[in-house]
C-alpha cells in the first residue's frame, strides 16, 4: 500500500487569477473615438489610484503562492506589489489586456461606454491592425499553459486584467481546471481554480 501511494502524482496547487486595482484614470470625460484611443494609451501607462488596499483574500493567496505572476502593464505590476510586497514577481507580457480599438463612430462618449463598443467591435473581428481576437485566444492558451506548469510546484497567483482573465477561463477548463471561488470582475476581485481529475 505504501509503495502504491509513493507513486501517486501530487495534486497541483491552486491558481488564483485577480483583476488589478483601480487605475489612476479619469472615467468621467466625454471624448470622441480618437480621444478614446489617446485615453486608452494613458490608461495603459497609468498605475493605481492612491489610497487602495488589496483585499485580505488576495494577500493571503499571494503569501501562500509559490510564484506570483503579473502582466507587464503598470496597473497589474502595482497590484501584484501591493498584494505580495517584497516578493519576486514574474512579469510577463503574455498576460496583458486584450486590445480595445474603438469603432470610428461620430459622437462623444465616456471611456467606459467606448470600452463596451470597442470590445464588441473587436470580438467580431475589427482589430484595426492591433492583436486580433484569434491572436489573443492563442496568447490565452499560451498563458494558461504557463500557469498550469507553475502550479505543479504549488499555488500560483496572477494579477492581470478583466477581459483577458475571462479569456483564460476556457483554456483552463480544457486543461481540467475548475473555478471553485468566483469573486466577480470588479477591481481587486479574484477567481480561484483547482485541478479537477
Tens digit of pLDDT for each residue in 92-107? Answer: 999 999 999 999 999 9
The sign of the CA dihedral 93, 25, 161, 112 is: negative
CB 65 within 8 A of CB 12: no
Average the pLDDT over 20-24 and give the result: 97
Beta carbons within 10 angstroms of residue 2's beta carbon: 5
* 3 occurs within a structural domain: no
* 1 occurs within a structural domain: no
Q: Where are the alpha helices (DSSP H) in 49-132?
A: 56-64, 74-83, 111-123
3-class state of residue 16 by DSSP = strand
- The CATH number covering residue 89 comes to 3.40.50.1240
* 102 occurs within a structural domain: yes
* 92 occurs within a structural domain: yes
Across 20-73, where does the E strand assignment appear? 67-70
N- to C-terminal Cα distance for the chain? 22
Domain membership of residue 116 as a residue range: 11-195
CB 62 within 8 A of CB 68: yes
Tens digit of pLDDT for each residue in 173-194? Answer: 999 999 999 999 999 999 999 9
* 31 occurs within a structural domain: yes
* 43 occurs within a structural domain: yes
Give the C-alpha separation, 30 to 47, whole Å.
21
Reported confidence tier of residue 16, pLDDT bands at 50, 70, 90: very high
CB 77 within 8 A of CB 165: no
Reported confidence tier of residue 1, pLDDT bands at 50, 70, 90: very low
DSSP-derived pairing of the beta strands 67-70 and 177-182: unpaired
What pTM value is reported for the model? Answer: 0.93
What nine digits make up the cell of 106? 461620430
What nine digits make up the cell of 25? 484614470
Give the C-alpha separation, 137 to 143, whole Å.
10
Q: Number of structural domains, the chain?
A: 1
* 4 occurs within a structural domain: no
pLDDT exceeds 80 at position 34: yes
pLDDT exceeds 60 at position 4: no
* 144 occurs within a structural domain: yes
Reported confidence tier of residue 197, pLDDT bands at 50, 70, 90: confident
Amino acid at each position: 500500500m505504501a509503495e502504491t501511494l509513493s507513486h501517486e502524482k501530487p495534486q497541483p496547487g491552486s491558481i488564483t487569477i485577480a483583476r488589478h486595482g483601480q487605475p489612476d484614470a479619469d472615467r468621467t470625460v466625454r471624448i470622441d473615438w480618437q480621444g478614446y484611443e489617446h485615453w486608452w494609451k494613458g490608461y495603459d501607462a497609468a498605475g493605481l489610484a492612491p489610497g487602495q488596499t488589496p483585499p485580505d483574500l488576495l494577500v493571503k493567496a499571494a503569501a501562500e503562492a509559490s510564484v506570483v505572476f503579473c502582466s507587464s502593464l503598470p496597473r497589474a505590476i502595482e497590484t501584484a506589489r501591493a498584494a505580495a510586497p517584497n516578493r519576486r514577481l514574474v512579469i510577463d507580457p503574455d498576460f496583458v489586456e486584450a486590445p480595445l480599438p474603438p469603432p470610428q463612430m461620430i459622437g462623444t462618449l465616456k471611456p467606459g461606454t467606448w470600452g463596451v463598443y470597442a470590445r464588441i467591435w473587436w470580438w467580431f473581428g475589427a482589430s484595426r491592425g492591433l492583436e486580433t481576437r484569434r491572436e489573443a485566444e492563442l496568447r490565452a492558451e499560451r498563458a494558461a499553459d504557463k500557469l498550469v506548469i507553475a502550479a505543479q510546484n504549488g499555488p500560483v497567483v496572477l494579477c492581470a486584467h478583466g477581459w483577458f482573465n475571462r479569456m483564460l477561463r476556457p483554456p483552463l477548463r480544457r486543461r481540467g481546471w475548475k473555478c471553485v471561488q468566483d469573486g466577480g470582475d470588479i477591481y481587486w476581485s479574484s477567481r480561484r481554480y483547482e485541478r479537477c481529475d
